[in-house]
Every structure is written in structure tokens, then in C-alpha cells.
């Protein structure tokens, strides 16, 4: 009886995990008018980030919102918008998070230059530690004798 109860409990615990693991399937696959449109589309969605997935491009994500955004990008392309206008439209709706390479500006300076500043600060700390140890360390006695 206890094994059956334990098995039922384990199945109940595993069931919600299996329900969340469903992959979104695009009901209507995208159809392109020509190869140039398809290349442009794939290049553009590779530069955009899925707003639901933390580190996947719009091209790689299987989330339902990624499917919707891919259809929206294709619609905007067919309306005659250039890549910059499409990106600006998506940034206006979702913020700069949607761009894999955000523009350099006052709000993104830390993102672009923060790693360089941290590297410089770390180098400065190491230089100061080494310099202070050199000054504090006594000089070794001179073992050479002159004849």
C-alpha cells in the first residue's frame, strides 16, 4: 500500500513539470516570396532576442511569442519597412532588451563599457598590491663579495 501511495505522489509531483515542457508549434509556417526576402528575414530575426527566452534569438526560440514576433517581422518587411524601422518598432514595444546589440547611448554605456572599466579597476588594484609589497619587503642581503 505504501509503494502505491509513494508512486502516486511521485506521479503527481512530476505531472506539472511535464505539462510545462510542451514545445510551441507554428501552426502556419512562414512562406517567403523569394530568396532575398528569406535571407533578409533570417538575418533580421537572428539579430533580435526573444522577449520570453532569456538568451535565445527570435530565430532559435520555440516560444509562442517568438512565433508571433516572427510573423510580425515578416508583415513589417512586406509593408516596406527597412531593418532599422522594424527594430525601432520592436524596441518601442518591448524595450532595448529585444536587441542583441543595443545602441551605444547614455542608458547603455555601462553595458558596453562596464567590463572594460572592471578590467581596468582590477588591473589597478593588482598593480597597487604588487607595488606596496615591493616597498614593504626587505631587500635580500648581498652575498657577493668583492676580492
Using DSSP, state whether 48 is helix, strand or coil: strand
Which tops the pLDDT comparison, 133 or 24?
Answer: 133
Q: What's CA 108's distance to the chain center, in Å?
A: 15
C-alpha cell at 101: 546589440
Give the separation between CA 137 and CA 132, rounded to whole angstroms: 9
C-alpha cell at 87: 527594430
Residue 25: is its pLDDT beyond 70?
no
Give the separation between CA 31 and CA 68, rounded to whole angstroms: 14
0.85 exceeded by the pTM?
no
Give the separation between CA 58 and CA 72, rounded to whole angstroms: 12
Residue boundaries of the structural domains of the chain: 25-102, 104-133
Phi and psi at 88, nearest 5°, equal: -60, -40
Sequence-ordered alpha helix ranges (H) in the chain: 2-20, 35-46, 64-78, 83-94, 109-136
Owner of C-alpha cell 526573444: 50
CATH no., domain 25-102: 1.10.8.640
pLDDT digits (tens, 9 = 90+) for 106-144: 776 777 788 889 999 999 999 999 988 888 766 666 666
Using DSSP, state whether 120 is helix, strand or coil: helix
Note the pLDDT of residue 144: 64
C-alpha cell at 136: 614593504
Amino acid at each position: 500500500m505504501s509503494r502505491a501511495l509513494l508512486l502516486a505522489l511521485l506521479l503527481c509531483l512530476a505531472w506539472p513539470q511535464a505539462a510545462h515542457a510542451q514545445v510551441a508549434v507554428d501552426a502556419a509556417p512562414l512562406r517567403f516570396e523569394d530568396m532575398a526576402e528569406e535571407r533578409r528575414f533570417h538575418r533580421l530575426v537572428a539579430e533580435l532576442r526573444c522577449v520570453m527566452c532569456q538568451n535565445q534569438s527570435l530565430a532559435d526560440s520555440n516560444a509562442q511569442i517568438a512565433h508571433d514576433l516572427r510573423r510580425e517581422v515578416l508583415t513589417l518587411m512586406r509593408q516596406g519597412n527597412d531593418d532599422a524601422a522594424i527594430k525601432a518598432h520592436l524596441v518601442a514595444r518591448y524595450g532595448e532588451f529585444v536587441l542583441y546589440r543595443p545602441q551605444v547611448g547614455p542608458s547603455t554605456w555601462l553595458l558596453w563599457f562596464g567590463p572594460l572599466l572592471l578590467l581596468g579597476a582590477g588591473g589597478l588594484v593588482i598593480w597597487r598590491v604588487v607595488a606596496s609589497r615591493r616597498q614593504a619587503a626587505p631587500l635580500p642581503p648581498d652575498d657577493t663579495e668583492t676580492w
